[in-house]
Structure 1
């Protein structure tokens, strides 16, 4: 079975869910920050990867980060208001959903297949976003 192109979406959702369940949310009486090392241990990726994945969420105002040895990440938006399609779009950017290859331009199929595959990719992206819009980060926090 093929592996996914990128795990960035899964890592982002994991981290958001972790933050929501660990008192790092905006409605927590004493919101805490969670360091990239702790988040990396939970997601089994490097702290650098965690910071890279979370950067678009910070830029969108969903997360805040504090640099330094005592710094870390916290939610700025209630988990009930963060839908997974928003996370998907922020993390994915313009990246295609399907791994589309670069065929030979000398091949009669190769010259035209890209347009058809791009149309299919756009349809898959729309369907994915519609499905993800029905789930929030709060839905994923363990009870």
Structure 2
């Protein structure tokens, strides 16, 4: 099973836009962002469109078209990004209904749901602690 990279790409794109704006640029093009991410600009536009619907960024059309942040990096958390592009839920029950006459089959889903709810809560709690501003600081420090 492969991991979902949409959250990493979304955070990358938003942080890139934020840094680009700090350096005196008004809007960033999807082509510029895609170059940094090393992906197709169409993929970036699709992802940014989702982030725009959530109020994290906005687009400008026409002359000087591009993307800009709707909020400051310090006010955007990884949880905000996760809520837009993250897998929901992290884990799922298998699609077939287990045998209700089996002791394991009848109890596995409620038991697993309790574990999964705890994991989801822990993930959300950790993501809420990290702002994109903090990630930008880490990125710049690593560079």
Moved more, 132-141 or 115-124: 115-124
Structure 2: runs of 5+ lacking an equivalent: none
Structure 1 CA distance for aligned equivalents of residues 23 and 116 of structure 2: 44
Say which structure is richer in helix.
Answer: 2
Structure 2 CA distance for aligned equivalents of residues 86 and 102 of structure 1: 29
Task: Name the CA shift for 1:30/1:42 in 2 (closer, same or farther; >3 Å).
Answer: closer
The match for 1:123 is: 118
Supply the RMSD in Å over aligned alpha carbons: 2.6
Task: Name the CA shift for 1:77/1:117 in 2 (closer, same or farther; >3 Å).
Answer: same
Moved more, 37-46 or 82-91: 37-46
The match for 2:75 is: 81
Structure 1 CA distance for aligned equivalents of residues 47 and 5 of structure 2: 9
Structure 1 CA distance for aligned equivalents of residues 116 and 39 of structure 2: 28
Higher Cα Rg, which structure: 2
Secondary structure (helix, strand or coil) at the match of 1:129 reads: helix
**1:110 CA displacement:** 4.6
What's the TM-score, normalizing by structure 1? 0.77
Match of 2:130 among 124, 128, 135: 135
Cα deviations by residue, 1:66-121 (Å, 9 ceiling, x for unpaired): 2458422111101111111111112237x211254334644834554333333322
